[in-house]
Amino acid sequence: MGEEKEDKSKALEKLVKSEEAEEILQMVNRGIVFTKEILGENERLRFRVIQLQEENNELLRQAERGKLRRRLEEELIRLEEEKQRLLEEYKRVEEQNREYAMRYVEVEEENNNLANLYVCSYQLHSTLEFKEVVQIIMEIIINLIGAEEFGIYLLDEKGRLLVPVAMEGKDLSSAPSFGLGEGTIGRCAQTGENYYAQDIEGTQQERPFEEPLVAIPLKIKEQVIGVIVLYKLLPQKTQFANVDYELFTLLAGHAATAIFSSRLYTEAQRKLNTIKGFMELLTH
Q: Give me the residues that bind another protein (CB under 8 A), please.
A: 108-109, 111-112, 115-116, 118-120, 122-123, 126, 136, 139-140, 142-146, 148, 234-237, 243
What is the bridge-based pairing of β-strands 147-155 and 161-168? antiparallel
Burial of 229 by CB count in 10 Å (0-12 exposed, 13-18 middle, 19+ buried)? buried
Choose between 59 and 101: whose C-beta lies nearer to another protein.
101
User: Crossing angle, helix 130-140 and helix 256-283, to 10 degrees?
Assistant: 160
Query: What is the separation of C-alpha 38 from the centre of its chain, rounded to a whole number of angstroms?
Result: 89
Minimum CB distance to another protein, residue 231 (Å) = 15
Choose between 135 and 261: whose C-beta lies nearer to another protein.
135
CA atoms within 13 A on the CB side of 50: 5
Choose between 97 and 111: whose C-beta lies nearer to another protein.
111
Kind plus residue range of the DSSP H or E element containing 259: helix 256-283
Choose between 24 and 119: whose C-beta lies nearer to another protein.
119
Choose between 224 and 256: whose C-beta lies nearer to another protein.
256
Minimum CB distance to another protein, residue 210 (Å) = 26
Minimum CB distance to another protein, residue 186 (Å) = 28
Choose between 101 and 115: whose C-beta lies nearer to another protein.
115
Minimum CB distance to another protein, residue 236 (Å) = 4
Choose between 42 and 111: whose C-beta lies nearer to another protein.
111
Minimum CB distance to another protein, residue 216 (Å) = 16
Minimum CB distance to another protein, residue 137 (Å) = 10
CA distances to 21, 22, 24, 32, 75 from 27, rounded to whole Å, are 10, 9, 5, 9, 69
Minimum CB distance to another protein, residue 140 (Å) = 6
Altogether, the residues listed in the chain come to a count of 284
